[in-house]
Amino acid sequence: MQRRHFLTSSTAAGLGMAIGAPRVTAREGMHGGGQPVPRQILIAGGGFGTAFIGYMARLTGKERPRLCYLPTASADRESGIIRWYENCAPLDVEPSVQESFISSYSTDRSWEEIFLSVDGIVVSGGNTLNQQAIWKAQGIDVVLREAWERGVVLGGASAGSLCWFEEGTTDSRPREVTKIECLGFLRGSHSPHYDAEAARRPTYHRLIRSGALKPGYACDNDAGIWFVDNEVRGVVKTRADARVWHVSLQDGDIVERELPGEMIA
């Protein structure tokens, strides 16, 4: 296995990455009033706190963006919902929460009305396998794609980062970390918690080497990637030694390319 460090601005430019304040460019296609919009996703390997939420808020381009927390993977855990509001408190945002364990009597709007009326959606960590099953049963997966196509910024950490990719590694099943297939908004594979859980890195390498997983992106906790239309536009982190890697197979050997990141606060 080879590790290659790409930390220069020239390399960043070659990867299509924007270093500094977030900027977006429009993709082809129209929505709403006929204006082209970018499809944006902001992920982190773990730890989507105030700094990441604030970064997402800026990506929306709104003065006081409406940000919705979707804690399906954590079974709508109350402690995570409380932490969401605590993380949003220092920011000029309008936070909300949409639980998935609902009833018709307490939920008087459709999923479309809920998720297409906000500017950003942050997905919780937790059990990705259960999250995907519930979203598909409820039709939330379809609505999330429509939201993305309409320019709603999507994001999250752990299960909230893995869910957007074609596939990746999950601890959602008994006994061992395994492969999971997800929504496929982002091409390739993903491994969260790359530096925080001992099984993550060797499992990711083994599955890519065997051909079970496509090449993709591995994120340490507190480090993440901003995607625009499936292109890496920036790498951000809240811890100096947190890193992001592109992991691929070359001549039978795993190669990790470090993507340059900037600190956000």
Q: Model confidence over 114-130: pLDDT tens digits? A: 999 999 999 999 999 99
Question: Is a pLDDT exceeding 90 seen at residue 225?
Answer: yes
Question: Is a pLDDT exceeding 80 seen at residue 168?
Answer: yes
Mean pLDDT, rounded, for 212-222: 98
pLDDT value, residue 12? 42
pTM to 2 decimal places: 0.88
In three-state form (DSSP H/G/I as H, E/B as E, the rest C), the secondary structure along 194-254 is CCCCCCHHHHHHHHHHHCCCCCEEEECCCEEEEEECCEEEEEEECCCCCCEEEEEEECCEE
pLDDT value, residue 104? 95
Q: Could you say which of 74, 158, 161, 172 is catalytic?
A: 158
pLDDT value, residue 46? 97
Question: Is a pLDDT exceeding 50 seen at residue 56?
Answer: yes
pLDDT value, residue 57? 98
Mean pLDDT, rounded, for 46-73: 98
Question: Is a pLDDT exceeding 70 seen at residue 164?
Answer: yes
The percent of residues above 90 in pLDDT, for the chain, comes to 86
User: In the predicted model, what is the mean pLDDT of the chain?
Assistant: 90
pLDDT value, residue 25? 42
Joined together, the tokens standing for residue 194 give: 């790359």
Pick the CATH number of 2-8+37-102+111-263 from 3.40.50.880, 3.40.640.10, 3.40.50.720, 3.30.70.100: 3.40.50.880
- CA gap 147, 60 in Å, rounded: 13
Our answer to whether residue 106 is catalytic in this structure is: no
pLDDT value, residue 10? 31
Q: Which of 35-39, 68-72, 96-100 comes out lowest in average pLDDT? A: 35-39
pLDDT value, residue 34? 60
Give the phi and the psi of residue 62 in degrees, each rounded to 5. -100, 150
In terms of phi and psi (left: phi > 0; alpha: psi -120 to 50; beta: otherwise), the region of 158 is: left
Our answer to whether residue 210 is catalytic in this structure is: no
Mean pLDDT, rounded, for 95-101: 98
Which band of pLDDT confidence, cut at 50, 70 and 90, is reported for residue 36?
Answer: confident
Q: Model confidence over 70-97: pLDDT tens digits? A: 999 999 999 999 999 999 999 999 999 9
Q: Return the DSSP state at 35.
A: B
CA angle 226, 124, 193 (to 5 degrees): 65
Helices within the chain (DSSP H only): 9-14, 50-60, 78-88, 111-115, 128-138, 140-149, 159-162, 200-210
158: amino acid identity, one letter: S
Q: Could you say which of 189, 191, 193, 205 is catalytic?
A: 193
With 0-12 / 13-18 / 19 or more C-beta atoms within 10 angstroms meaning exposed / middle / buried, residue 4 is exposed
Question: Is a pLDDT exceeding 90 seen at residue 238?
Answer: yes
